Structure 1
Amino acid sequence: MVKSHPHNHHTHSHPKLRGRNLLVSILLNIVITVAQVIGGLVSGSLSLLSDALHNFSDVLSLIVSFFANRLAKKEASIQRTFGFKRAEIMAAFINASTLIVVAVFLVIEAIERLQSPKEITTQTVIILSSVAILGNGLSVLLLKKDSKVNMNMRSAYLHLITDMMASIAVLLGGLLMKFYQVFWIDSVLTFIIAIYLIVVGYDLLKSSFKILMLFTPENIAVKEIVDVVNSLPEVKSIHHVHVWQLNEEETHLEAHIDFNKDIHVSRFGEILHLVEDVLQDKFGINHITLQPEYNKNDSKDIIVQD
């Protein structure tokens, strides 16, 4: 079995900057969380406490993301031949899970509070939600660029941007309660924030789960790969195909490739380079392992249960 790696691999973008930005965001969110917990208890605002709880989940998620980012840069070894390249995918999965758990807790609390609304000290809610908007807004700006190219950073970014939106909702709720005394709005806003968290969290959870389970990437059609490779010179069939993502930068393919005749190893090397060029250009697959065969009596199905 011959493994080949095309030279145009993707690379991590701004790793030092990414780690520093995460650290700044962690410190900002710790300050915001402490302030909101105290303010929520003093004011009696569930939406402010829910925002604090979400901020606390942000702190945890950012810490997980920070260490995952550092682990992902560690080199491979004999004991860990892939290194820690999946650390950031694991972090994204954990962060998405916590986002959903927090949201479910908020839904329960909001429903209970709706049944018995309480008067709330609105001035504290307005001040602290404004502080949270500024702090989370700065964190969002720090992580925005890296969130476009990295799932781990995207999970942290989603935590922060949803919390900023939640803080905006809490601020609006505080203003409504101050001027119109509609205290039930506190629970309604909490419920809306929670539902939104579930929606964005589920999407990220699903994406990271598919990578962890070695599912074929959604943008890759295995049958199309088979048709393309089978059309190459001297190739009889490609079968026993596996396609998966190690992380967001590496997409792997391994397969058996059957030839029409007993070719030389040097000729197989030429065909291998041709295959990797085609699969890189058409499908973005950048790690290819092929097992050459001729007249081998094995299953020729595209997918074979190992």
Structure 2
Amino acid sequence: MRRHHHPVDPKAGDMRVLIAIAVNLGLTIVQVIGGVLSGSLALIADALHNFSDAISLIIAFGARKIARRPSDATMTFGYGRIEVVAALVNYTTLIIIGLYLLYEAVLRFMDPQPVAGWIIVVVAAVALAVDAITALLTYEMSKDSVNIRAAFLHNVADALSSIAVIVGGTIILLYDWRLVDPIVTLLIAGYILWQSFREIGPVIRILMLGSPPDIETSAVLAFVRGVPGVADIHHAHFWQIDEHRAALDAHVVIESGKWDQADAIKALVRDGVMSAFKISHTTLELECAKHGCGNQTEVGGPADFETVR
């Protein structure tokens, strides 16, 4: 099922992102100071995650600017895919941070350190409020951009992390149980890694020119074969130009005796896949049923394999 998008005005969206960046950078500084003063690894872990959110928002802001550039001779499809590249950078960075936090948590299990619980609770409460504000600022934009959606999900994760840190700090205050700090750190790191690995797959799929995950390639091919006047379709390439635009490149075989209707049949195919599957870009090579190309493959083509020899 495709998402329904409600684009935010670009200038208004840019201002929201800038405000979110400023708020998150300020929070990161407060959390680091609080973590150092309290000796809390969990609070510093939350600060690192929050800082990664700020960096991801900075990357997202730059990507939004670049993505608006029109197509040119260098980038004939436009610059929209820069947001996908930015999302890949953000998720990769999060994975590295998550692995580092796991390492630090294991070390803290071996050598528990004293933690000032009251500082943890106060700073984490402030963080929770800031995370909620940032999530509100980016929520609408997250519906229309894989890049902003990554930042939004990070802030939701931050909010949950802050709740976990508050609970951990409260337990330390009540029972002086120091191991709760590395335990909370493990939970934060685990959530970061789970979220990152879950979200990075679709991003890699777009960059690898994979077919849209919400559309069955076989359904598209069957639809084209069902268009009146079409005998077959082969050498099909079906991919995502960016998060919102799908493309189809294929050889379409026209039934015998209907070559004089070829242009009309091509229009039916083009309009049909746009209506049924929202495929906005189609490149169709028409073939006569009697003189079609040889060595036919349903998807891909001979040239795809020659490049890897």
TM-score, normalised by the number of residues in structure 1: 0.92
The residue number in structure 1 matching 2:307 is: none
Contact 1:93 1:204 (C-alpha < 8 Å) held by counterparts: no
Partner letter of residue 149 of structure 1? D
2:236 to 237, 241, 258: 241
What is the rounded CA distance, in whole Å, between the counterparts of 1:152 and 1:80 in structure 2? Answer: 20
Partner letter of residue 261 of structure 1? S
2:182 to 166, 187, 208: 187
What is the rounded CA distance, in whole Å, between the counterparts of 2:97 and 2:152 in structure 1? Answer: 17
1:62 to 57, 64, 69: 57
Residue identity over aligned pairs, in percent, reads 34
1:81 aligns with 2:80: no
Secondary structure in 2 matching 1:219? coil
Contact 2:8 2:140 (C-alpha < 8 Å) held by counterparts: no
1:283 aligns with 2:283: no
Q: Residue by residue, what CA displacement relative to the aligned partner does 1:255-282 show, whole Å, maximum 9, x if unpaired?
A: 01111236567x3332222112221232
The residue number in structure 1 matching 2:43 is: 48
Structure 1 residue 16 displacement after superposition: 2.2
What is the rounded CA distance, in whole Å, between the counterparts of 1:61 and 1:220 in structure 2? Answer: 29
Contact 2:233 2:252 (C-alpha < 8 Å) held by counterparts: yes
Contact 2:254 2:262 (C-alpha < 8 Å) held by counterparts: no
Contact 2:241 2:247 (C-alpha < 8 Å) held by counterparts: yes
What is the rounded CA distance, in whole Å, between the counterparts of 1:101 and 1:269 in structure 2? Answer: 53
1:224 to 200, 215, 219: 219
What is the rounded CA distance, in whole Å, between the counterparts of 2:6 and 2:297 in structure 1? Answer: 34
Q: How many residues align?
A: 297
For 1:1-306, what aligned pairs fall within 5 Å after superposition? 12-261=7-256, 267-294=261-288, 295-303=291-299, 304-305=301-302, 306=304
Secondary structure in 1 matching 2:183? helix
What is the rounded CA distance, in whole Å, between the counterparts of 1:12 and 1:85 in structure 2? Answer: 15
Secondary structure in 1 matching 2:154? helix
Structure 1 residue 83 displacement after superposition: 2.2
Highest RCO, 1 vs 2 (Cα 8 Å, sep ≥ 6): 1
Contact 1:125 1:174 (C-alpha < 8 Å) held by counterparts: yes
Partner letter of residue 301 of structure 1? T
Contact 1:92 1:204 (C-alpha < 8 Å) held by counterparts: no
What is the rounded CA distance, in whole Å, between the counterparts of 1:28 and 1:203 in structure 2? Answer: 27
What is the rounded CA distance, in whole Å, between the counterparts of 2:220 and 2:197 in structure 1? Answer: 30
What is the rounded CA distance, in whole Å, between the counterparts of 1:263 and 1:133 in structure 2? Answer: 66
What is the rounded CA distance, in whole Å, between the counterparts of 1:233 and 1:143 in structure 2? Answer: 46
Aligned-CA RMSD value? 1.8
Q: Residue by residue, what CA displacement relative to the aligned partner does 1:179-226 show, whole Å, maximum 9, x if unpaired?
A: 211111011000011111111111111010000000112222222222
Partner letter of residue 295 of structure 2? S
Say if 1:11 and 1:300 are closer, same or farther in 2 by CA, change over 3 A: farther
Partner letter of residue 268 of structure 2? L
Structure 1 residue 165 displacement after superposition: 1.1
Q: Residue by residue, what CA displacement relative to the aligned partner does 1:27-58 show, whole Å, maximum 9, x if unpaired?
A: 00110111111111111100011111111111
Query: Where do 5+ consecutive residues of structure 1 fail to align?
Result: 1-9
Partner letter of residue 262 of structure 2? F
TM-score, normalised by the number of residues in structure 2: 0.91
The residue number in structure 2 matching 1:7 is: none
Query: Where do 5+ consecutive residues of structure 2 fail to align?
Result: 305-309
Say if 1:191 and 1:11 are closer, same or farther in 2 by CA, change over 3 A: closer
What is the rounded CA distance, in whole Å, between the counterparts of 1:192 and 1:84 in structure 2? Answer: 37
